[in-house]
Structure 1
Amino acid sequence: MADVAAAPRLLDQVRDRIRVKHFSLRTEQVYLGWIRRYILFHGKRHPRDMGKAEIEAFLSHLAVDRNVTASTQNQAKAALLFLYREVLALELPWLADITQAKASSRLPVVLTGGNAGGAG
């Protein structure tokens, strides 16, 4: 038997790259979660074997079927961009075609014009 050192697993590679770039622990956890969900969504296929269609399908699924907020979808998109750019060294210039989640139309409470607490 040959004693060949196995290459690090993909998620370990992602974790290592995040740590080299000094991202926060929470960012690491969130990015790993999105990348894991992306891989599972596509039947455990390796991201290197997937491309534009699969990324668009996953991010559109989040917006349309899962009804996630725009910021949640952007977080998933950032995680996938990190995976492809930083770990797999592939550029994704075509991500503009993705169905975007609808941004919230609610205003923060301080901007709603409610009673400011004074009795005029």
Structure 2
Amino acid sequence: MIEQSTIAIIATMLAGMGGGIALVAWTESQGKRTELRENTQPCAECQGETTTVCNVCNGSKQDPLDDSKSCTYCDGKGRIKCFNCAGSGIQPRFLDRLSPDDFMD
């Protein structure tokens, strides 16, 4: 005869597996719904302008170590392409920022 504690352990294990599978399925369906929805939210870093102030010269366009030369990081423009949105002006969705290639060596 099977003890009641054994039945409880098996039931808990099956419920946990079922819950885990349900969570994975739900996450997948949410990802598909997100892909279908249009993304028009402006970037939080550049406010949709596609560029940000150069973080080396702080927009002065001059090399901070030698004022007679232009900044080599921004090519003397004082602004650089936004790193957050890659210059698109649209706020990327969290998972859109990463690709499998980012994790490959």
More strand as a share of residues = 2
Give the TM-score normalised by structure 2: 0.21
- Bigger Rg, which one: 2
More helix as a share of residues = 1
Give the TM-score normalised by structure 1: 0.20
Higher relative contact order (CA closer than 8 Å, sequence separation 6+): 1
